[in-house]
Structure 1
């Protein structure tokens, strides 16, 4: 495994010559992270500085486009810490994020009011705020869009909060559409590519003709497994309140997720007053028709309900010497089958996170299937 280092213009700077450990944590619905420890050498000190970019070369399959271009996930160093212990051993620690964290550098401006699938909306957001349709000052240099297949999805009425953070809105639309995203690096062409995709269905009962991918200790392809299920944060019916009209009244609509009744009915509330009824279009102030505005509130409500489903988390440490190989037989975002006979559990779930650990010449892979339990920050955001 080799780590190559580039500057922010994708200019190659060299390769790390010594490495103690690396954690490479990729995510489907969110921004991935990395952390590494390396001894202090002249080369490492020169390369491992904040702002530089890192790619990982380990022989695994990368994204290839029709023209033969090879695109790799890359990360930017955002934190460097150097220590010297009592024995005089000097060590450098570097941490950072996959390049999709760059989306957090932009607010959405002007406000987007549009109808379309989540794929269309995400592309529109990125294009308008850091892509070719953005002003020269706001464009990401060397950014292009990787070719995308048309991803099935229903059209929704969408409007963002004024000056909403681009990264958060892309993440929310990706979760709603079950899509993965990142910004990849083409080392040869020195380009960055926005990557939007949907994982393959590799479940045991898939109807697409794909070879099933089943993780189970029965097949000796996992070393450890951990299962968590929680209904503590469930909700299946949501009230959504919008911004006040000129007369002071606030429209309210509902989204019924499951048609539940009685004790099975769990109601929650969403304050969507950030979705303005009026917006500027050039010099003109436009008032959104009530039926269109109600549809926008329902879109927000449906997205919020996604956060209130049953949380199922199946974490497995994968046997790297087994019949299933990461990047060859399965990849981040694919839907697979997890089975644990003794626990009586078999679920179909998406691979939402993968952590690759390299230490002392050995590699371990840990995959998270399904959705992890909500963090404290997520819970606070829901209360607000």
Structure 2
């Protein structure tokens, strides 16, 4: 079993567990992943698994989770079982919101996506008085990804980072530096390992390559929109309205309304509409159980965030797509690996959060 180190938030090692029942550690590219650990409560160091302590998979400083939930129960053998749930360390961003600078209605940034993301983290997790994470450091800016214009006002920081990630193609997360005793926020860009490039050795996932044990395809138009009517400031007939999206007509046009009354500059309405439509794209994804005997090795030949080629000839499918999620499963029977290629269908909670973020309603008294 993969050893699990238990750390305090100050990164002090308080124990290690390697005889647990199971661990599922889910890594995500655009958002913080999550984990679930099940163990007998009487194993050594189990009592150190307390809320807000960290777990680290072996010595991998990029696989660190924060404990948020504990359950204790008994099984059919009368054994006391401890179930731990939590999130990748980047989940701390969900504890902050985007606070505009004094005297400004919005925090507006126009720069490369990495600069924008790191600005919002620096401001809302370090600079705003009372909002500091004392152990957090923002990594040096490398100015990756294209130029975007973003504005935010009292939005959940983690959700804003996720949106920018999907628009820009940058992944993000928080890893630890045990030498500095710091948590490091950084962004990263996966490699292009598809067959349609000449720089890196290509990686292909296909039953024909014997590197897929099982595979599920989702090809969905549910929740898809390709044309938006964007409403800006004003009321009734005086409200600013722009239309953005596809030139398709008839059955091929899917129309939605986007409430953008928070936009200060009417010239930015079109950009808001296009950015929002990216959240409503068609869903084409593969969920696959990865064979451990295949030719391409996880974290050596490919990793989370990389663009690979996925193929199933019997289904007539070949596509270049990003690895957006990897689920590492450690059990007494051995190690299993599952991967999601492309964007999966949003969960109910994600749909509710997306709907609420569109309301743009503030109460004043």
Normalized against structure 2, the TM-score is what?
0.90
Deviates more, 1:4-13 or 1:77-86: 77-86
**Structure 1 residues 249 and 377: CA distance shift in structure 2, 3 A:** farther
Alpha-carbon distance in 1 for matches of 2:175, 2:288? 26
Match of 1:169 in 2: 160
| Secondary structure of residue in 2 paired with 1:72 | coil
- What is the aligned partner in structure 2 of residue 94 from structure 1? 84
Is residue 159 from structure 1 mapped to residue 160 from structure 2 by the alignment? no
Q: How does 1:307-326 map to 2 (within 5 A)?
A: 307-326=279-298
- Return the alpha-carbon distance in structure 2 between the equivalents of residues 188 and 123 of structure 1: 22
In structure 1, runs of 5+ residues without a counterpart are 63-70, 278-292
CA distance in 2, matches of 1:46, 1:94: 11
Question: Pick from 318, 335, 339: which aligns with 2:311?
Answer: 339
Q: Deviations over 1:77-112 (max 9, x none)?
A: 111111123432111110001111111111211241
Inter-partner Cα distance in structure 1 for 2:11 and 2:238 = 53
Q: Distance in 2 between matches of 1:225 and 1:130?
A: 40
The aligned counterpart of 1:68 is: none
Measured on the aligned residues, the alpha-carbon RMSD in Å equals 2.0
The structural deviation recorded for 1:42 is 5.8
1:316 is displaced (CA, Å) by 0.9
Could you list the structure 1 runs, at least 4 aligned residues long, displaced by more than 4 angstroms after superposition.
Answer: none
Instruction: Tell me what 1:191 maps to.
Output: 182
Look up the match of 2:242. Answer: 253
Residue 289 of structure 1 aligns with which residue? none
Q: Which stretches in structure 2 are left out of the alignment for 5+ residues?
A: 101-105, 360-365
Summarize the Cα distance change of 1:239–1:189 in structure 2 as closer, same or farther, 3 Å threshold.
Answer: same
Distance 1:295 1:5, change over 3 A: farther
Structure 1 distance, partners of 2:268, 2:160, is 14
Q: In structure 2, what is the Cα distance between the partners aligned to 1:123 and 1:96?
A: 24
Are 1:125 and 2:120 counterparts?
Answer: yes
What is the total number of aligned residue pairs between the two structures?
A: 350
Question: CA separation in 2, counterparts of 1:248 and 1:105?
Answer: 39
> How far has the Cα of 1:250 moved from its partner?
2.1
Partner secondary structure for residue 342 of structure 1: helix
Q: How far off is 1:116 after superposition?
A: 2.0
